[in-house]
Amino acid sequence: MNNENKVTLYFVRHGETQYNVERRMQGFCDSPLTEKGISQAKSLGEGLSDIHFTASYSSDSQRVLDTAKYAIGEKNIPLMIDKRLKEMNFGVLESLLESEIPNLYGNVLETLFSLDVNACAPEGESYAQLFTRTQSAIKEIIEKHASEGGNILIFSHGVTIGNYMIQITNSKEFAVHENCSVSVVSYKNGQPKVEKIADTSFRDRGNVQLNKSSLII
């Protein structure tokens, strides 16, 4: 008899950062959340407030840790850091403006956007390598919580989450994950069931609720 309970993971992309605004390649490198990014994270937390979470996990990038901090707020949700949830390593492209890359490295962005599993930036990692480390972290998280089940928050990055969704759904369609969008995947007996991909409704609903509260005050 299998005693494994359903574990539901809520994958959250971090809030808007300075490099997002400047349209720079941001993988292993980092930049701070903007005021909008902080607001997005707080709104997300409000939008998820009616869901009980037993634990949360975060990439070790500061932009993601800050997003988790603002989203969790005063809620009693343990937060663990796992560097395997980090963004894709973009190698020599890190921190470069997207607009300057073609002059420096030709069609490397087109190669990356092809989503071929072996595609990678020079000195960076491939989608296959990214999935291997992401899947390793997710597998351990599921195994850790399978006996009790429940909802778990996973704070990570746009390409990391998007690539994971592509691989587990065997799809070639990459969904653009806006800042503080949420993808939901439930797992039972090792089988994933994708319930939401790149959903912004939690963030947007929370934003409305917070604005209403500020008006009342």
Active-site entry in 87, 94, 145, 177? 87
The answer to whether 38 and 45 are in contact (CB under 8 A) is no
Active-site residue flag, 145: no
What is the three-class DSSP state of 91? helix
User: Of 183, 185, 211, 208, which Cα lies nearest the Cα of 197?
Assistant: 183
Helix (H) or strand (E) holding 119: none
Buried b (16+ CB within 10 A) or exposed e, 189-203: eeebeeeebbbbebb
Buried b (16+ CB within 10 A) or exposed e, 40-69: bbbbbbbbbeeeebebbbbbebebbbbbbb
Question: Which residues, 6 or more positions from 91, have their beta carbon under 8 angstroms from its beta carbon?
Answer: 120, 121, 122, 123, 124, 125
The answer to whether 164 and 134 are in contact (CB under 8 A) is yes
For the CA atoms of the chain, what is the radius of gyration? 17
Active-site entry in 14, 145, 157, 177? 14
Catalytically active residues are 14, 87
